[in-house]
Amino acid sequence: MKKLLLTATLLSCAFGFAQHGLDKDVANIEDKVIEWRRDFHQNPELSNREFKTAEKIAAHLKSLGMEVQTGIAHTGVVGILKGKKPGKVLALRADIDGLPVPERADLPFKSTAKGEFNGAEVPVMHACGHDTHIAILMGVAEIMSKNTDKIKGTIKFIFQPAEEGAPEGEEGGAKMMIKEGVLKNPDVDAIFGLHIGSGQPVNTIAYKSGGIMAAAQRFEINVKGKQTHGSTPWTGIDPIMASVKIIDGLQTLISRESALTNEAVVISVGKITSGVRNNIIPETAQIVGTIRTLDYDMQKHINDRMKEMVSAIAKAYRAEATVDISEGSAITFNNIELTKQMLPSLEKAAGKERVIEISAITGAEDFSFYQLEVPGMFFFLGGMTPGNTESFPHHTPDFFIDESGMLLGVKTFIQLSLDYLNN
């Protein structure tokens, strides 16, 4: 009954979609999409190691008669679908990697997979919903491949590895796919992407024109002191104490130096490493964390001040410290004109009352690199069960997605594709 009601709701809220004659195709794809998602969820693979995932995707696209490219950015897969009429080239993107997270959710398709991360064996889970992204785009590919007479132009289906970041010492993700020509031959005119959200109600779409997600940077601070016995700290230089003061000082860059009424800024420390036992003051300490910014001027200020502050604080405690800041993702910036143009398509797919304009968030996405090359739009798809009062964040063991929201993802991608290409 729930499935019938959901299908009826989705079909009734968009005359614009029905006019393309694809409403039955969309309704009939749901079981397949859910089956694919469960398979990927039960068999996740880490970044740049998505070998079996890529094989399954490529096999599906080939079965649809598409031109298929594999091995892009290690394990990326691209399907090229040409319409019956000439026109623009549109790209649709899904990310495919899992995370080194153990799954606690009690599901019949729960992941028990293992992988290697930074030299250690770790549990692997689709703790960010990339399994749903793959299945949704595979569903879109199947429907569109049967309806090439309705496509004016070409659609590139991009299945991208390593969105969560390549392993240390490796390249990967969107940046590498672009470097290896994913937006060329044929040249892409625009790109759309989505991300499912565990805290957003199913059958809703959230969007924002302009900056929607933050730029992400990784920082590493190495503090050097002087090792000594823990009973006589005055005979050494304590890098742990200096590190504590550095971490405390960094937060004043947010609370006292950032115009938070303009845009959000975040500095978070995720890892501290130092020492070997309780009665030895060590020689070194390492602090690793992330910087999230939604404005490049604010980002530059934070970067410059970190380099000044860290060495100064360390010196005050007789230690030495260096800071290394490396680039992660750029600001995910939705092209303003493209977003304005496609907003009616979002509303036709979901129903106007289910399309919500949001404020920017401090999560990051390497979809941003595609947007530096071509106009792009990124939006969020609801994945939280209606009536739930609690949801579990992404990247956590209890992360959970309500599968009934996935069909709207299929529908929205199709609506956007047909409207963009045929207009």
The residues carrying an active-site annotation are: 97, 163
Residue 170 tokens, joined = 């490796």
Helix (H) or strand (E) holding 76, with range, is strand 76-82
Strand 85-95, strand 190-201: pairing: parallel
Pairing status of strand 355-357 against strand 205-207: parallel
Say if residues 111 and 72 touch (Cβ distance below 8 Å): no
What DSSP designation does 254 have?
A: H
Say if CB 116 and CB 46 are below 8 A apart: yes
- DSSP code for 271: E
CA distance 375 to 68: 24
Distances (CA, A) of 258 to 70, 100, 297: 44, 33, 11
The burial class, CB within 10 Å (0-12 / 13-18 / 19+), for 168 is: exposed
Strand-strand pairing, 114-117 and 320-327: unpaired
Spell out where 127-249 has E strands: 152-160, 190-201, 205-207, 210-213, 215-224, 228-229
